[in-house]
Chains A and B, each alone.
Chain A
Amino acid sequence: MKAIRIALTKGRLEKYAIEMFEEIGIDCSELKNKGRKLILKDEKNNIEFVLVKSTDVLTYVEHGAADIGIVGKDTLMEQNKNFYEVVDLKVGKCIFAVASLPSYKSYDGYNRKKIATKYPTVAKDYFKKNGEDVEIIKLDGSVELAPILELSDAIVDLVETGDTLKENGLIIIDKICDISARMIVNRASMKMNKEKISSLIVKIQQYVDRNEVTVS
C-alpha cells in the first residue's frame, strides 16, 4: 500500500502542523528530529512528511507528488492552481492589507499609483476589483521599505501584528482579506485513496473545531 504523503510548509506553519498531527494520533517523532532527512516517516500509520517552501507545497500537491499539503491561504491566492481546499486550519492567522505612509490617498490626482508587493496576483486582483489602475512592482522581501524610499506609493503585504508597519511609520489603508493555514488535497489522491484521506480530513476538522471552542 502506497503511503500517504503530506507536504508541510517550512517555518511558521511547521510547528502548528506538527502539533495538529500529533494530536490526531500521528507519530511525528521523525519530523521533530529530522536531522538531514528529507522524507520523514510514520511507519505505523503509513504516512510520509516532506518539508518544503510554501509555493512548492502547491506544486507538489498539484502534480500528485504529495497527496496532501499544509499551506497558507496567501500562497493559494497568489497561485492559481487546481486541488481541493478541504480544511481551514484557523491557525497562522493574519491579513492581506494595503499599507502606506499616513499621507497616502487612494484617489489623488491622475497619476498611476505604484504598488510594491511580494504578491502581484493578489495586488492586481484587489485593485482590479476596486477599479483602480495601478502599476505593480514585484519585490522579494522587506516590502515596507518601498514607500519609505519612494519606490512605490503603497504596498500590499501580509500583516500579522502590524508591529513592523508601525515601527516604520506605515499604516493600514485597507484590509483585503483574512488569511489562515489550509489543508489541500490532490484531486486524484482524494478519489483513489478516499478512505484514508477522508478519515484524516474528519479528524483534522474535529481538531480545528475543538480548538476553536477552547480559544473562544
Chain B
Amino acid sequence: MIKQSWRSEILNNWKRHIPEGSRDILFEDCSNKIKIINVLRELYINSGFLEVISPTLEFYDVFQGETIFIEQEKMYKLFDNEGRILVLRPDMTMPIARIVATKLKDSLYPMRICYSGNIFRKNENWNGKVSEMTQSGVEIIGSESTKADAEVIITAIQALLSIGVRKFQLEIGQADFFKGLIEDIELDFDEMEKLRGLVQNKNFGALREFIEERQDILGTKNVEALKKLPELFGGIEILDKARTLTKNKKAIAAIDTIEKIYERIKGVGLGEFISIDLGMVQHIDYYTGIIFRGYSSQIGTTIISGGRYDNLISKFGTSMPAVGFAIDVDNILSVLEKQGNNNEKVSEKYIIHYENHLIGSACKFASQIRSKGFVAELSLFEEKEKTLSYGEQKKIDKMICVLEDEKIQIIDIKTNKSWNENIEEFIKSLED
C-alpha cells in the first residue's frame, strides 16, 4: 500500500503544481479580469473596430525578421507533425499584420481592428513575472493621417478611464526625432546601438562622455540635441525646448506631428493625461512615427504601449501603414487592486431553500430575482439548518424558503429575523 502511493508520487511529480510564471485566476479576480476585457471590447466595437481572434499557435517565421524585437529565447517553441517550428504567440500585432497582408488585402481601408487574447513570453524563473499575459488592443490599418494617430491615443485614454484607472500618464515620443538627429552621423552598427542604448536608458553622463570622445566623427551638428535627448521628457513645453536644439528637417517634422496630435487630444479635453518623452528610442526599427507608453503611479511597469509601424505589414507582402496599442490587462488589474476600486455597489445575494416537489416554483422564483439584477442560488441541501449555515458562511444576505401557494418565508441571515410574504409582493419590493 505504502509502496504504491510512493510510486505514484514519483511518477506524477508535478501533478498538483503549475509551471513557474503561470497562474490560476479564481472567482472575484477572474470576474474582474473578464469585466475589464468586456468593457474594453464594448468601447472598441462601439467606436467601429472589428474584432478578430488569431490562433494561439503560429509559425515561428511570423515573429522572425530584422525589425522584430522579440528575442527567440523568449518564445515558447514546439514542432508540428511536419517538423516545422511553431510558437505560442508572443505578440498580438504581428499575427494581425499577417492577416491584413494576406486575407484582408483587398478589403475596405482604413480598417479598424480590435482584439483581446493571451500572449506568451518566457521569463526568468523566480522573477515575479508571468509568462502568460492578456492583451487587449486596437490597430488602425491603412491610414497615414495624424487623425488615426490621435484616434488611437484618444481611444487609449478613454479605454483606461472606462475601466477606472485613475492616475496615469500617456507618454508620447516620435521615432523620427532620433532618426533625424543621427541622419548625418556616420557610426557603425555597434557604435550606433551603444548610442541608442545610452539614450534609451537615460544614461546622461555616459552619453555625454560617449559623444565628447567621438567629437571628430560626430561633428557639431545635432550633437547638443543628442546630448540633451535623455532629458527631453516632461510636459508639452518639452517640444519648444527640442525645437531650439536642431534644424534637422526630419526631427522638426517629428515635433510638428506630436504637436498636431496633442492639439487634437487637448481638443477632446484629455490633454492632462499626455506627457512627452523624445528619448523613447526602443525598437526604433519597428516604429516609424509616434511611440507611446502609459504609466500609472501604482505600479512600476507600463500598462499600455503602442505606436505607428508603417513598415511592419510589408514584411508579410502587402504594404500598409498602421498604428495601434495594446493594454496589458494583468497590469491593469494590479493597478485597480492597489487603487482600491471598491466603490462598486455589491448587489444583494439570496439563497433559496425548497422541498423537492416545489422545484418548479423555486426555479421560476429564482429567475425572477435574477432578472432584477440580484444573485439567487438554489440550495443543494435537504435540511433548512444546513442551508442556513452555508448561507451564513458564504455571506449571503437572505435565505428564502419556498412554500406552497406562491408563499415564501424570508430569513435575514444577519439579524435572524424571519417573516412570510407572497412571491408577487416580494418581487415587486425588489424593484424599489
Contact = CB atoms under 8 A, between A and B. Distances in A.
B238 to A, nearest CB: 11
A1 to B, nearest CB: 11
B124 to A, nearest CB: 9
Contacts of A85: 201-203, 206
B334 to A, nearest CB: 10
A88 B205 contact: yes
B390 interface: no
A192 B295 contact: yes
Contact of B203 (A62, A86, A193, A208): A86
B127 A59 contact: yes
A191 B301 contact: no
Contact of A187 (B167, B205, B275, B295): B295
A123 to B, nearest CB: 18
Contacts of A65: 300
Given A191-B277, A192-B169, A194-B233, A86 B300 contact: no
Given A186-B300, A188-B296, A208 B201 contact: no
Given A191-B171, A192-B169, A201 B299 contact: no
Interface string A66-90: 0000000000000000011111100
B234 interface: yes
A98 interface: no
Interface of B: 127-128, 167, 169, 171, 201-206, 233-234, 275, 277, 295-297, 299-302
Interface in A185-210: 185-194, 201, 205, 208
B360 to A, nearest CB: 56
Contacts of A2: 297
B169 A84 contact: no
13 contacts: A63-B300, A64-B299, A64-B300, A84-B203, A85-B202, A85-B203, A86-B202, A88-B206, A188-B295, A190-B202, A192-B167, A193-B297, A205-B205
A133 B57 CA distance: 35
Given A64-B299, A64-B300, A64-B301, A191 B202 contact: no
* Pairs of residues from A and B, 6 with the lowest C-beta to C-beta distance, nearest first: A64-B300, A84-B202, A188-B295, A192-B297, A85-B201, A186-B300
A62 B300 contact: yes
Contacts of B301: 63-64, 187-188
Contacts, number: 63
Contacts of B202: 84-86, 185, 190
Contacts of A208: 205
Main secondary structure of the interface of B (DSSP, over half): mixed
Contact of A87 (B205, B275, B296): B205
Of A85, A189, A191, chain B has the most CB atoms within 10 Å of the CB of A191
Given A86-B204, A88-B205, A205-B205, A191 B300 contact: no
A131 to B, nearest CB: 15
A119 to B, nearest CB: 16
Of A64, A65, A83, A185, chain B has the most CB atoms within 10 Å of the CB of A64
Contacts of A201: 204
A74 to B, nearest CB: 16
A193 B295 CA distance: 11
Nearest to A192: B297
Interface string A49-66: 000000000010111110
B112 to A, nearest CB: 29
Nearest to A208: B205
A117 B277 CA distance: 39
A191 B233 contact: yes
Of B201, B233, B277, B300, chain A has the most CB atoms within 10 Å of the CB of B300
A148 to B, nearest CB: 33
A194 B202 CA distance: 13
B240 to A, nearest CB: 17
A186 B202 CA distance: 11
Of A63, A65, A189, chain B has the most CB atoms within 10 Å of the CB of A63
Of B128, B169, B171, B201, chain A has the most CB atoms within 10 Å of the CB of B201
A188 B201 CA distance: 13
Given A64-B299, A186-B300, A193-B297, 9 more contacts: A2-B297, A62-B300, A85-B206, A86-B204, A88-B206, A188-B295, A190-B202, A191-B169, A191-B277
B369 to A, nearest CB: 44
Interface in A78-125: 83-88
A207 to B, nearest CB: 12
Contacts of A59: 127-128
Given A64-B299, A188-B295, A188-B296, A194 B205 contact: no
B327 to A, nearest CB: 15
A59 B128 CA distance: 9
Given A59-B127, A62-B300, A64-B300, A191 B204 contact: no
B300 A187 contact: yes
A191 B206 CA distance: 21
A135 to B, nearest CB: 20
A116 B428 CA distance: 79
